[in-house]
Amino acid sequence: MQMVTSHIESDGAETNMNLYEWEAKRIFADWGISVPQSIRITREEELSKVNFDFPLTIKCQVLSGGRGKAGGIQFAKDLKEAQSLVGKLMAMTIGGSKTESLLIEPKVAIKHEMYLSVTMDRARGCPVYIAAKEGGIEIESNKSIITEPIPYPFQPYVARNLAKKMGLSGALLNKVASIAERLYKLFDQLDLDLAEINPLVITQSDEVIALDGKIIVNDDALGRQKMFDGWQEKHMADLPERERKAKKQGLNLVELDGNIGIICNGAGLTMATMDMVKNFGGNPGNFLDAGGGSDQEKTLAAIELVNENPNVKVILLNILGGITACDEVAHALVEFMKKNPKRSMVVRLRGNNQDKAEKMLADSGLKLFPDLENAVKEAVSKSKVAV
Amino acid sequence: MQMVTSHIESDGAETNMNLYEWEAKRIFADWGISVPQSIRITREEELSKVNFDFPLTIKCQVLSGGRGKAGGIQFAKDLKEAQSLVGKLMAMTIGGSKTESLLIEPKVAIKHEMYLSVTMDRARGCPVYIAAKEGGIEIESNKSIITEPIPYPFQPYVARNLAKKMGLSGALLNKVASIAERLYKLFDQLDLDLAEINPLVITQSDEVIALDGKIIVNDDALGRQKMFDGWQEKHMADLPERERKAKKQGLNLVELDGNIGIICNGAGLTMATMDMVKNFGGNPGNFLDAGGGSDQEKTLAAIELVNENPNVKVILLNILGGITACDEVAHALVEFMKKNPKRSMVVRLRGNNQDKAEKMLADSGLKLFPDLENAVKEAVSKSKVAV
Amino acid sequence: MIFVNKNTKVLVQGATGKMGAAHTKRMIAYGTQVVGGVTPGKGGTLVPDTKIKVYDTVKEAKDATGATCSVLFVPPYLALDAGVEAIEAGISLLVVITEGIPPQDTAKLVSYARLKGIRMIGPNCPGVITPGETLLGILPGMIFKPGPVGMVSRSGTLTYEIALALTDADQGQSTCVGIGGDPVKGMEYPEVLTAFNNDNDTEVIVLIGEIGGNAEEEAAQFVKQNVNKPVVAYIAGQTAPPGKRMGHAGAIISGGKGTAESKMQAMREAGIEVALTPSEVAEKVKKLRTQLVKK
Amino acid sequence: MIFVNKNTKVLVQGATGKMGAAHTKRMIAYGTQVVGGVTPGKGGTLVPDTKIKVYDTVKEAKDATGATCSVLFVPPYLALDAGVEAIEAGISLLVVITEGIPPQDTAKLVSYARLKGIRMIGPNCPGVITPGETLLGILPGMIFKPGPVGMVSRSGTLTYEIALALTDADQGQSTCVGIGGDPVKGMEYPEVLTAFNNDNDTEVIVLIGEIGGNAEEEAAQFVKQNVNKPVVAYIAGQTAPPGKRMGHAGAIISGGKGTAESKMQAMREAGIEVALTPSEVAEKVKKLRTQLVKK
């Protein structure tokens, strides 16, 4: 049996809240989708809680993919073998993600593996089932893959149409349709970006169960999904420290390996500024979108975050004031420069209240660029000066 | 303050499951609609549980309307007064409905009374809000009454449009809209025929609360509304014994005061048969619709039920076999006549397997009428013969 | 004839259930072009005692057979789903026989049908028959015969009684539509009346109503304004007591409204002949047709 | 100009919130015919610092003012409800500025809009401006000027940057539509491209895209087949690392798909001029217009 760890990449997969397998399976069970019996442990002694038959499957609980290939899934034919595995597996870091715990299940006797997920289809503008009767291989390159858009309001026949399209029949068609119905309902009710069962297996006793599960919760919905209150912190454990900090402040930071810290308002403009820095021979040290309507406080927080990155030699602040007023940004700059008078900065300010901002910054020693290209060129040149 | 007991009559109000006020209010509270504090008691000693201020409102819990006018709602300014009322109220029977318990609440300081309900609009074919800004009077003759159809899928703006149409504004508009939103949701989720708040009051402290509530659950949905499992028996307490028995057997019996017991398959035909009996000078003793697809067992149960009614002198069985096969009916008849050879019966049988049925009944001594009018005339004439 | 004829291709949803299977056989015996059954998980089998193929989904069945109508025999709590499935698969006439569907589900199904402009008959109805051509539902075919009388009714067996009286009096029927006894339903009287009024095969219309609601009053108003063929009406429940539900969920006199008297009054005011017994319906139809011939 | 002009009557839903009020004032200052605000419970008041009446419901506001468009500034979890309210009240263009709407809600709102055939721009978008005529949303009006360049973009501030470059180069704009950065949205490129292609005031189209999804690839295909006006494209995120979400929920390179390179390639293959900087967009537009004059 080949364990499958690949999955459909959902939009925003890397920043929206990714759940551990054991959490996903608890949710599946709550919604009536069968999962194997299991216990979750972090220490060897807890193996005494195993109340099902050997052999066991022991799986590292990590947020990253590629677990199977990395050796994060092992089998134990008896207690002794299990004991010898616990410590090793708990110590593993897979794809930058530390093992949080181990999920222990009886090794399931598999007759057949399938794939089933619900995600949002950006092209169609609605949720979509993605499924394959033949699972067990890399799903993105799977030729038997089929999709079925899910209209609103939902009725269960859509799940039956899916099962039919998968090529199923008889009792199996009804079982898979029932699981697909539940999977959509939890996807919808819990505001998920992805609800994935891979593999969905038919056991030797003809049950259909979710052998592995992946759930990604949409961040924008966390304010109304009370069951996930307090979960976010824990699920950001694998993020670099400053990116985590940014997220908590509502800023969008992606750290890169260059030395020009880039702060803009608006994602498109931030990317465009990065692109220009690169085109003019510079090297972006980060992407930081301070958001469309960022005020003084948020702008200051953004500058300070980038300032903390030791690789950054020069900060390029590019604000085109639409919602963001230039004077709010100027306030933040004045405050920051008071504390960090030696920080090398290039500031491009244009738009709403540009005059006010210019006046406020007149004594700061900062040269203001109304034109983006000139600002970028200046930042690139400053980044190349030896400190 | 005038207590209001009238309500919108919903289709099937008298046979679908009508809840007690205290049950309706618990459901309202579960769905986030404010109701007064309360305790429910059946004995004087339980008054010690009152943990709110006097004066109290003490209300008989009955399934019928007209409670206020009948004296089933009383006020008590102190414990002594309350004690003297409990026994009296518990002994009351209102509109044929025995007092099941007493609901005790603090007497609410009312600023204004309104009316709000959700029911099914048969003409529009969808649920509808019925509301009035000025409640406190007989709602069916209320001129300020407005309606607002509820499209599917529901969005809360419909409740705001209702509140606006009621003439509300400011915070009150939002409060009533929020209650209306919850009321629709519980109406939909619990498969109700009626969810009614009468009166919906604005208190002196500007809260909006449900002071009285009426809920009718649709019988057809009881199989999927697990929260009502086992409730039906208790809520049929006010039905005459044989009607209750019929309901449990899936038969529809309405007892009348004549002496011709009428059993047909299909509601329309049963009514038409009743009408003909009356037109030809007879007097129907009951309406019993055995249903379109009734088999031997059900037909027998139907005949036996009517046979139990001491007022019935002759039973008129009118079966036009479409779904119902005549031979199934004949089986039931043979069985019944064995036990009750002297029962005066007129049988009209026509339709599917009529030949078979005729053969089976050849020896029974029963005369079979293929024509309805002749059968009715025979039954009327038999009903006038002195026993 | 309206809505259906001998070329109508019909699917039966729930064809493998006890009732669905029995009536599929009866429909086939009558001559109905039943081209497929639908039962999820039973695809590939045959409807018991027939040569009719069963499909797992309506989409598959429709693609394979070109059916345009579907008759629903599925259990009440599955009817909404099955009905929407048929509508979304492109069925243009839905006949819902199922009894006991919770009204919330019916209302949702009706909203889908209206949105897509689909004809939906029922629920809790006997179906529709064009005598000598086709039968969709559970009406007993043998009591009908072809002719010029259009019938529309909220009732089941009462309709059969009146059809029998008509047939016995040699007044055959163009089409008979049982719209069903539930308060919320897909098709109301006006849609059927309009179709009969435009139908060359229909000379006289028989409208069968019962107590409860005000559909008959509205139908009377509609006839007055839009129907130029003669109409004979029969209203059941003239002797029903108020406040009691008479079998049908819709048959109740509420707060003094929905009485047979009010309905008969409205009918008479609209120029409709009101009969008091099934046999009187046949007599009046016969008389009206004689008058038509004279004109 | 497309979609909106100086005669367009506009409602603002959420006009009494901080952002809604600020931008209502700015829209009025630009010349937009804002005819009413909508905030439940605030009916009868005025939008702060304006003479614009606030209504409790869209229905009331529409009946009173004859508005045909609505701009949404309501909080994210209320946007679905507010959007459907506008659609059901008969609004024909919905501009959803709100950021952070859960995708499930957006998908439902989009399904309503499609069902009713309503134009919906956004969510998470800057809105639409027809320079010199009207402004619906949060775009900074002062950087635009009237002219023959039609702009359509998934981005906000980047659009302003490019508008600025165009304006600085004396290449004014017919209309600029910001379709928003979320993966699920009401209006996609083709709808805007079609409108520009049919618009007499538009000579050249500027299409601004970014990494993530395949909307730009599809737009390129659409341009090739359906657009006969010259198009200049700019794609942001040429140096973005894979697997990281760049601000917008939609801006992520997933599994090697959605790269700027793939998009630029598709554009070039469709005969679209691809610019690498905002100022290059302006240069290319200028050059193309000179060529058009020569023809």
Amino acid making up residue B113:
E
User: What's the pLDDT band for D294 if we cut at 50, 70, 90?
Assistant: confident
Q: Do C81 and A171 touch (CB under 8 A)?
A: no
CATH architecture of structural domain A241-386: 3-Layer(aba) Sandwich (3.40)
**What are the residues whose beta carbons fall under 8 Å from the beta carbon of B381, sequence distance 6 or more?**
none
Q: What is the pLDDT of residues D69-88, one digit of tens each?
A: 999 999 999 999 999 999 99
**Domain B20-35+109-230 in CATH 3.30.470.20:** yes
Amino acid making up residue B95:
G
Radius of gyration for chain D, computed over Cα atoms and rounded to the nearest angstrom: 19
Q: What is the pLDDT of residues D113-148, one digit of tens each?
A: 999 999 999 999 999 999 999 999 999 999 999 999
Residue B292 pLDDT > 80: no
Q: State mean pLDDT over B110-117.
A: 96
Active site residues of C: 248
C-alpha B241/C-alpha B250 separation (Å) is 14
The subunits that touch chain A, with at least 3 C-beta pairs less than 8 Å apart, are B, C, D
Reference B37, options B110, B90, B85, B108; nearest CA is: B108
C-alpha B184/C-alpha A318 separation (Å) is 50
Q: Do D56 and B151 touch (CB under 8 A)?
A: no
Supply the pLDDT for residue C118. Answer: 97
Q: State mean pLDDT over C238-262.
A: 80
User: What's the pLDDT band for B138 if we cut at 50, 70, 90?
Assistant: low
Q: State mean pLDDT over B183-196.
A: 97
Residue D5 pLDDT > 90: yes
Topology of domain A37-107, CATH: Dna Ligase; domain 1 (3.30.1490)
Supply the pLDDT for residue A293. Answer: 66
Class of residue A356 by CB neighbours under 10 A (exposed 0-12, middle 13-18, buried 19+):
middle
All residues of chain D having their beta carbon less than 8 Å from the beta carbon of residue B170 are 41-43
Q: Do B155 and D58 touch (CB under 8 A)?
A: no
Residue D101 pLDDT > 50: yes
DSSP B289-301: E--TT--HHHHHH
All residues of chain B having their beta carbon less than 8 Å from the beta carbon of residue C252 are 11-14
Amino acid making up residue C85:
E
> Which runs of E-coded beta strand occur in chain B?
17-18, 39-41, 56-60, 73-76, 93-94, 97-98, 102-106, 110-121, 126-132, 146-149, 192-203, 208-210, 213-217, 252-255, 260-264, 286-289, 314-321, 345-351, 368-369
Q: Do D43 and B174 touch (CB under 8 A)?
A: no
Class of residue A362 by CB neighbours under 10 A (exposed 0-12, middle 13-18, buried 19+):
exposed
Supply the pLDDT for residue C206. Answer: 98
In this structure, the number of other CB atoms found within 10 A of the CB of residue B367 comes to: 12
All residues of chain D having their beta carbon less than 8 Å from the beta carbon of residue B171 are 41
- Flag whether the ipTM exceeds 0.90: yes
Chain C: give the shortest CA distance to residue A171, in Å. Answer: 5
User: What's the pLDDT band for C75 if we cut at 50, 70, 90?
Assistant: very high
Name the residue with higher pLDDT: B353 or D5: D5
All residues of chain A having their beta carbon less than 8 Å from the beta carbon of residue D212 are 11
Instruction: Give Cα A309 distance to the centre of its chain.
Output: 22
Q: What is the pLDDT of residues C111-121, one digit of tens each?
A: 999 999 999 99
H-run or E-run covering C278: helix C278-294
Name the residue with higher pLDDT: C227 or A2: C227
Rounded to 5 degrees, φ, ψ at B292 are: -65, -40
Rounded to 5 degrees, φ, ψ at B12 are: 75, 20
Whole-number mean pLDDT of chain D? 95
H-run or E-run covering D129: strand D127-130
Asked if D91 contacts D62 with a C-beta cutoff of 8 angstroms, the reply is yes
Q: What is the pLDDT of residues C101-112, one digit of tens each?
A: 999 999 999 999
> Which runs of E-coded beta strand occur in B220-325?
252-255, 260-264, 286-289, 314-321
* CATH number of the structural domain D140-294: 3.40.50.261
Cross-chain CB nearest to B218 (options C103, C111, C160): C103
| Residue where the block lists tokens 């309900």 | B117
Name which of A47-51, A362-366, B201-205, B272-276 the model is least confident about. Answer: A362-366
CA distances in angstroms from D230 to B262, D198, D206, D277, D287, listed in the order given: 83, 13, 9, 18, 11
Size of interface A-C (CB pairs under 8 A): 42
Cross-chain CB nearest to B157 (options D43, D44, D57): D57
Q: Do D40 and B177 touch (CB under 8 A)?
A: yes
Active site residue A115: yes
Residues of chain A with pLDDT > 70: what percent? 93
| Residue where the block lists tokens 């600029």 | D176
C-alpha A245/C-alpha A254 separation (Å) is 11
User: What's the pLDDT band for A5 if we cut at 50, 70, 90?
Assistant: very low
Q: Do A173 and C44 touch (CB under 8 A)?
A: no
Chain A: give the shortest CA distance to residue D275, in Å. Answer: 12
Supply the pLDDT for residue A351. Answer: 81
Residue B122 pLDDT > 70: yes
Asked if A304 contacts A292 with a C-beta cutoff of 8 angstroms, the reply is no
Q: State mean pLDDT over A175-185.
A: 98
Asked if A316 contacts A368 with a C-beta cutoff of 8 angstroms, the reply is no
Name which of A136-145, A237-246, B49-58, D2-11 the model is least confident about. Answer: A136-145
Listed in sequence order, the DSSP H helices in chain D are 18-30, 58-65, 79-88, 103-116, 157-168, 189-197, 215-226, 260-269, 278-294
CA distances in angstroms from B281 to B271, B318, C85, listed in the order given: 16, 18, 51
H-run or E-run covering B13: none
In this structure, the number of other CB atoms found within 10 A of the CB of residue C185 comes to: 25
Interface of C with B in 178-197 (CB under 8 A): 181, 183-185
Residue of A nearest to D138 (CA): A323
Q: What is the pLDDT of residues A283-332, one digit of tens each?
A: 999 999 988 666 788 999 999 999 999 999 999 999 987 667 788 899 99
Asked if B273 contacts B262 with a C-beta cutoff of 8 angstroms, the reply is yes
Determine the straight-line distance between the first and last CA of chain D, rounded to whole angstroms: 23
Mutation site, D57, D60, D116, interface B, largest B CB count within 10 A: D57
Supply the pLDDT for residue A138. Answer: 63
Q: State mean pLDDT over A61-73.
A: 91
Cross-chain CB nearest to C40 (options A151, A153, A174): A174
Chain B: give the shortest CA distance to residue A238, in Å. Answer: 39
Q: State mean pLDDT over A82-100.
A: 94
C-alpha D29/C-alpha D45 separation (Å) is 20
All residues of chain C having their beta carbon less than 8 Å from the beta carbon of residue B221 are 102, 104
Q: Do D84 and B155 touch (CB under 8 A)?
A: yes
Q: State mean pLDDT over D172-182.
A: 96
Six token digits for residue C57: 């989904």
Asked if the C-beta of A154 comes within 8 angstroms of chain B's C-beta atoms, the answer is no
Six token digits for residue B160: 């705001």
Supply the pLDDT for residue B386. Answer: 64
Residue of A nearest to B152 (CA): A153
The subunits that touch chain B, with at least 3 C-beta pairs less than 8 Å apart, are A, C, D
Instruction: Please work out, in degrees rounded to the nearest 5, the angle formed at the alpha carbon of residue C115 by the alpha carbons of C110 and C118.
Output: 70
Residues of chain C with pLDDT > 70: what percent? 98
Instruction: Please work out, in degrees rounded to the nearest 5, the angle formed at the alpha carbon of residue D155 by the alpha carbons of D151 and D158.
Output: 80
Helix, strand, coil shares of chain A, percent, nearest 5, are 35, 25, 40
| Residue where the block lists tokens 């029903």 | C240
Q: Do A11 and D249 touch (CB under 8 A)?
A: yes
Reference B34, options B187, B210, B220; nearest CA is: B210
Reference B290, options C141, C176, C156; nearest CA is: C156
Supply the pLDDT for residue B13. Answer: 39
Chain D: give the shortest CA distance to residue B23, in Å. Answer: 31
Q: Do C164 and B350 touch (CB under 8 A)?
A: yes
Supply the pLDDT for residue A4. Answer: 31
Supply the pLDDT for residue D191. Answer: 97
Cross-chain CB nearest to B293 (options C19, C140, C246): C19
User: What's the pLDDT band for B137 if we cut at 50, 70, 90?
Assistant: low
Asked if the C-beta of B153 comes within 8 angstroms of chain A's C-beta atoms, the answer is yes
Residue D167 pLDDT > 70: yes
Asked if D237 contacts D260 with a C-beta cutoff of 8 angstroms, the reply is yes
Question: What residue ranges of chain C are covered by domains with CATH 3.40.50.261?
Answer: 140-294
Q: What is the pLDDT of residues A106-141, one digit of tens each?
A: 999 999 999 999 999 988 999 999 999 988 656 666
Instruction: Please work out, in degrees rounded to the nearest 5, the angle formed at the alpha carbon of residue C281 by the alpha carbons of C279 and C284.
Output: 110
C-alpha C39/C-alpha A171 separation (Å) is 11
Asked if A353 contacts A374 with a C-beta cutoff of 8 angstroms, the reply is no
Asked if C266 contacts C216 with a C-beta cutoff of 8 angstroms, the reply is yes
Residue A90 pLDDT > 50: yes
Burial readout B139-158 (b: 16 or more C-beta within 10 A, e: otherwise): beebeebbebebebebbbbb
Taking the C-alpha atoms of B336, B337, B339 and B345 in order, what is their torsion angle to the nearest 10 degrees? 90
User: What's the pLDDT band for B143 if we cut at 50, 70, 90?
Assistant: confident
Q: What is the pLDDT of residues A268-283, one digit of tens each?
A: 999 999 999 999 999 9
User: What's the pLDDT band for B15 if we cut at 50, 70, 90?
Assistant: low
Residue of A nearest to B154 (CA): A153
Asked if the C-beta of B151 comes within 8 angstroms of chain D's C-beta atoms, the answer is yes
Q: State mean pLDDT over B350-377.
A: 88
Size of interface A-B (CB pairs under 8 A): 3
CATH architecture of structural domain C9-121: 3-Layer(aba) Sandwich (3.40)
Reference B375, options B328, B318, B292; nearest CA is: B318
Q: Do A193 and D103 touch (CB under 8 A)?
A: yes
Name which of A7-16, A31-40, B61-70, C226-235 the model is least confident about. Answer: A7-16
Chain C: give the shortest CA distance to residue A29, in Å. Answer: 24
The residue from A113, A181, A196, A243 that is catalytic is A196
C-alpha C28/C-alpha C25 separation (Å) is 5
Q: State mean pLDDT over D154-163.
A: 94
C-alpha A190/C-alpha A217 separation (Å) is 7
Mutation site, C73, C104, C109, interface B, largest B CB count within 10 A: C104
Give the pairing type, strands B146-149 and B102-106: unpaired
Q: State mean pLDDT over A239-250.
A: 88
In this structure, the number of other CB atoms found within 10 A of the CB of residue B246 comes to: 24
Asked if C203 contacts C177 with a C-beta cutoff of 8 angstroms, the reply is no
Reference A212, options A203, A223, A201; nearest CA is: A201
Chain A: give the shortest CA distance to residue B189, in Å. Answer: 15
The residue from D53, D119, D154, D248 that is catalytic is D248
Question: What residue ranges of chain A are covered by domains with CATH 3.40.50.261?
Answer: 241-386
C-alpha A140/C-alpha A270 separation (Å) is 30
Q: What is the pLDDT of residues C60-69, one digit of tens each?
A: 999 999 999 9
Q: State mean pLDDT over B341-345.
A: 92
Q: State mean pLDDT over B176-188.
A: 98
Cross-chain CB nearest to A169 (options C56, C82, C88): C56
Supply the pLDDT for residue B99. Answer: 96
Residue of C nearest to A165 (CA): C60
Asked if A21 contacts A74 with a C-beta cutoff of 8 angstroms, the reply is no
Name which of B76-90, C244-258, C262-276 the model is least confident about. Answer: C244-258
Supply the pLDDT for residue B2. Answer: 29
DSSP B315-356: EEEEEEESSS-HHHHHHHHHHHHHH-TT--EEEEEEETTHHH
Question: What residue ranges of chain D are covered by domains with CATH 3.40.50.720?
Answer: 9-121
